[in-house]
Amino acid sequence: MERIKLENTVFEGLNNAYVFGAESDAPTLVDTGVATPETREQLETGLADCGVAIADIDQILLTHWHGDHAGLAGELQGESGATVRAHAADAPLIAREDGAWESMNEHQRELLDQWGMPAEPRAELLDFLDGQIQGTPPTVEPFENGERFETPEGTLEALHLPGHAAGLTGYALDGADGRELLSGDALLPHYTPNVGGADVRVERPLANYLDTLEHIAGAGFARAWPGHRDPIDDPAGRARDIIAHHRERTANVLDVLREHGSATAWAVSAQLFGDLSAIHILHGPGEAYAHLEHLSAHGVVKRTEEGYRLLDSDPDFDELFPAVAE
């Protein structure tokens, strides 16, 4: 496997694409980068350094629908004839099927109202989202959790890892030191993937993501290859660290409600993150919403017309978060 580093000024930065079978006549590419000329040039150069031309690509496996991972898939498919595959939950967005984006955008607007987002930041956010680069939509073959895909370097097993995105999928493989995981944005080395705002289709986003982290922590992976930045040599430890982060974030949310009383997701976000711009106008209250909904599902808060009202000021955090053995 070869890793190709791609710059990305749109989202978190430093995307990764992975190539399997660079010396074969049927390479597999995992993720593509965002659809900008600069990223396309970097990808093409990285492939060439591995001895691969775009026309050689046989299969493209995508971790999820976000543009910094799937943006170039249609363009590459058009030049290579490669089969593009993605989880069934994300495939309609990647292929831009009729109604898929409209449905998500409608739900997003409903949530912006529910979160209490004021008009000015809402307008800034919608302008930003309207300007995002989509790229050419590919024809996508959907798959489900557990399906296996053959590459010239062995089999990749699809592992559904929802939370950050509804269809986010990692790919497990046999490495020199044991099983390894291409984790996409489910597990990142230096920061935590956004939940709640990054994909508004995910119901109970924090609960889903905690299940994903618990699964990763217990799977015994020797290494994770993330969608951004460098490999993770202790995936289980990193998953536990992110669970601890969300436990602390939930405590911070409770502190806001204790101090200020009932509050919307937007008001809680303002206390946690301050002023926001661009995509963070979505991600900030989305993160607050994910934690508030997690608390609501456990009876700690109740959503009302005025916002989330605190019912239990001293909940048992061991009931809210999984205990993952080391």
Q: What angle do CA 193, 194, 198 make, to 5 degrees?
A: 120
Q: What is the pLDDT of residues 241-270, one digit of tens each?
A: 999 999 999 999 999 999 999 999 999 999
Computed over every residue of the chain, the mean pLDDT equals 95
Q: Confidence class of residue 77 from pLDDT cuts 50, 70 and 90?
A: very high
Nearest to 60 by CA among 173, 141, 145: 141
Residue 166 CB coordination number (10 Å): 22
Q: Is residue 202 a part of any domain in this protein? A: yes
Q: Confidence class of residue 326 from pLDDT cuts 50, 70 and 90?
A: low
Q: Confidence class of residue 314 from pLDDT cuts 50, 70 and 90?
A: very high
The percent of residues in the chain predicted with pLDDT above 70, rounded, is 98
Question: What mean pLDDT do residues 106-110 have?
Answer: 97
Q: Is residue 30 a part of any domain in this protein? A: yes
Q: What is the pLDDT of residues 193-221, one digit of tens each?
A: 999 999 999 999 999 999 999 999 999 99
Question: What mean pLDDT do residues 84-110 have?
Answer: 96
Give whole-number Cα distances, 223 to 91, 142, 179, 180, 209, in Å.
Answer: 27, 27, 7, 5, 19
Q: What is the pLDDT of residues 278-298, one digit of tens each?
A: 999 999 999 999 999 999 999
Q: Is residue 142 a part of any domain in this protein? A: yes
Q: Confidence class of residue 190 from pLDDT cuts 50, 70 and 90?
A: confident
Q: Is residue 299 a part of any domain in this protein? A: no
CB 89 within 8 A of CB 155: no
Question: What mean pLDDT do residues 169-173 have?
Answer: 98
Question: What mean pLDDT do residues 155-166 have?
Answer: 98
Q: Confidence class of residue 323 from pLDDT cuts 50, 70 and 90?
A: confident
Is the pLDDT reported for residue 13 higher than 80? no
Question: What mean pLDDT do residues 135-143 have?
Answer: 97
CA atoms within 13 A on the CB side of 237: 7
The percent of residues in the chain predicted with pLDDT above 90, rounded, is 92
User: Going by DSSP bridges, is the β-strand pair 148-151/28-30 parallel, antiparallel, or unpaired?
Assistant: unpaired
Q: What is the pLDDT of residues 23-47, one digit of tens each?
A: 999 999 999 999 999 999 999 999 9
Instruction: Report the C-alpha gap between 92 and 89 in whole angstroms.
Output: 7
Domain of 135: which CATH number?
3.60.15.10
Nearest to 76 by CA among 28, 144, 7: 28
Strands (E), 65-203: 83-87, 140-143, 148-151, 154-160, 169-175, 178-184
Q: Which two tokens stand for residue 141?
A: 């073959």
Our count of domains for the chain comes to 1
Instruction: Report the C-alpha gap between 311 and 313 in whole angstroms.
Output: 6
State residue 176's pLDDT score: 87
Residue 186 CB partners (closer than 8 Å, separation 6+):
161, 163, 164, 168, 170, 193, 212, 216
State residue 75's pLDDT score: 97
pTM, two decimal places? 0.96
For 66, the domain range is 2-106+130-239
Q: Is residue 12 a part of any domain in this protein? A: yes
Is the pLDDT reported for residue 309 higher than 70? yes
Is the pLDDT reported for residue 186 higher than 90? yes
Q: Is residue 270 a part of any domain in this protein? A: no
Q: Is residue 317 a part of any domain in this protein? A: no
Nearest to 32 by CA among 84, 100, 93: 84
Nearest to 252 by CA among 200, 293, 199, 292: 292
Q: Is residue 233 a part of any domain in this protein? A: yes
Is the pLDDT reported for residue 9 higher than 70? no
State residue 11's pLDDT score: 61
